[in-house]
Amino acid sequence: MNRKLINGIFACVTGLLGAVALWSIYSNRDMPVIREAPEPESIIGSQLPEGHPPIDAANKLAALEEMSSKDPQNPDYKTQLGNTYYDLGQYQKAIEAYQASLKLRPQDPSVETDMATCLHILGQHDKALEILDKVLRYRPDFAQALYNKGIVLLNGKNDTKAGIAAWEELLRSNPNYPQRANMEQKIRQLKSGG
């Protein structure tokens, strides 16, 4: 074969490959580029000061604090702060964040119920019941408040009769309660002394 023919074929193949590559780049221009994530730095928990939240939670808290300071009238940031502190087991800080949220948006049954749960965990059962009863005055069928009221009465106040009554009210006012069968079983066990 002559050299001119080989060079011509090579030039055509090279040109064709280049055209295919350009077409591939053009046709996939809107597709996301997938890169391997860098290996996270390994952090040994014992290196963190005692009581320090995990790094991810600390970053989340810092971001929420910053957003909250930039938009101090937004109750959702305060609620998210409370939820994060709650998840970290820092119940007093959660209560403070929930209180700040409630100053901006009073009568939020979810926030008040979560705050009552924190108080219960901290052993302030009467205060928890006071808040849950307040929620149930303006939202008598609020399932989570009724459920939590039963928990506080049973575990915090050792009042089985009142705890059962709260859970029976939960089932009466929420006929489609998703955990109905489980709740009915718990009530039967409590009534039978089990």
Q: How do the domains of the chain map onto residue ranges?
A: 53-106, 125-194
Q: What is the pLDDT of residue 183?
A: 95
Q: What is the pLDDT of residue 109?
A: 97
Instruction: Tell me which amino acid residue 16 is.
Output: L
188 in helix, strand or coil?
helix
Q: What is the pLDDT of residue 14?
A: 54
Radius of gyration of the chain, Cα coordinates, nearest whole angstrom:
30
Q: What is the pLDDT of residue 69?
A: 77
User: What CATH topology corresponds to 125-194?
Assistant: 1.25.40
Q: What is the pLDDT of residue 71?
A: 78
User: 2: alpha, beta or left, given left = phi > 0 and alpha = psi -120 to 50?
Assistant: beta
In tens digits, the chain (194 residues) has pLDDT values of 555 555 555 554 455 555 444 444 444 444 443 333 334 333 334 454 555 556 677 778 778 778 877 877 889 989 999 999 898 899 999 999 999 999 999 999 999 999 999 999 999 999 999 999 999 999 999 999 999 999 999 999 999 999 999 999 999 999 999 999 999 999 999 999 86
Please determine whether the domains at 53-106 and 125-194 fall in the same fold group of CATH. yes
CB-based contacts of 86, cutoff 8 Å, min separation 6:
94, 114, 117, 118
- pTM of the predicted model, to two decimals? 0.69
User: What CATH topology corresponds to 53-106?
Assistant: 1.25.40
Q: What is the pLDDT of residue 70?
A: 81
Distances in whole angstroms, Cα of residue 25 to Cα of each of 17, 36, 77: 12, 20, 42
Assess contact for 143 and 170: CB atoms under 8 A. yes
DSSP state of 159: -
